[in-house]
Amino acid sequence: MKKRVLLAVCGALAIGWQVTTPAAVVPATPSASLHSSSIMATVGAGHYFLQNAFDVQFAFVALQFGKGRALGHFRHRTEDETGTIDFTGEVTCLAVDSANRRAWIGGVITANRSTSPNFTTLAIHEVGHDIWFRVLDNDHGSDEPDRSTFVGFESDAIPSSEAYCNMRIWPDVPVINARTWPVTSGNLVVHP
């Protein structure tokens, strides 16, 4: 069922779409068949608890045809003790590990609606700068929930979204799936 939903959403994305709220993706008219094995895609929406304390709403769609440029959009939103943290981005890169059902999504910030001073005072949080996150699709025969990270930003260690997607960082120390958080409601799919 999840694969059919992914294919329907990705087909609708071939012309265009927008993230209207953190938990909703609104597709446009379908225009392409996605039965090709050269398509990488990931889609999801829901909630997870960042650091087991902050309810994060998320929505994203990312796809890539063959070795072409990735496209899509994403949004992550939460509240911390100092205000709102709310980023929207346009996808520019996607990497998929099909065997482990992992995906790395990178892009550029298209809107920063944050009020928290921790996310409004640095240049790396401004529109046009790189932003990224990674996800794990645990839904195939597993009792474990899907997982997501919060968004990350440009640094000396990871200077761009493209570097992030190419590096495919997935720490399993000190615990398996380190710095990822269980999806508490919603769903995500990594394809293939």
Residue 50's closest CA among 188, 184, 161? 184
List pLDDT tens digits, range 61-105.
999 988 888 999 999 999 999 999 999 999 999 999 999 999 999
- Those residues whose C-beta lies under 8 Å from the C-beta of residue 121, and which sit 6 or more positions away, are none
More confident residue, 75 or 18: 75
Tokens for 169, please give them.
């960082």
Query: What is the model's pLDDT at position 140?
Result: 63
- Is there a contact between 47 and 183 (Cβ–Cβ < 8 Å)? yes
Average pLDDT over residues 58-62: 98
Across 36-50, average pLDDT: 89
Higher local confidence (pLDDT), 24 or 61: 61
| pLDDT tens profile 109-161 | 999 999 999 999 999 999 999 999 999 999 766 789 999 999 999 999 999 99
Quote the pTM value: 0.82
Q: Rounded distance, CA 91 to CA 95, Å?
A: 11
The structure tokens 């720490």 sit at 171
Phi-psi group of 170: left, alpha or beta (phi > 0 → left; psi -120 to 50 → alpha; rest → beta): beta
CA separation, residue 174 to residues 100, 104, 143, 177 (Å): 19, 20, 22, 9
pLDDT of 115 reads 98
What pLDDT, on the 0 to 100 scale, is given for residue 68?
84
Residue 18 has a pLDDT of: 38
pLDDT digits (tens, 9 = 90+) for 159-184: 999 999 999 999 998 899 999 999 99
Q: How many CB atoms lie within 10 A of CB 169?
A: 16
Does the pLDDT value for residue 8 go beyond 90? Answer: no
107-to-1, 95, 135 alpha-carbon distances in Å = 28, 12, 15
Q: In this predicted structure, what is the pLDDT of residue 143?
A: 84
The CA distances from residue 95 to 100, 130, 143, in Å, are 12, 16, 25
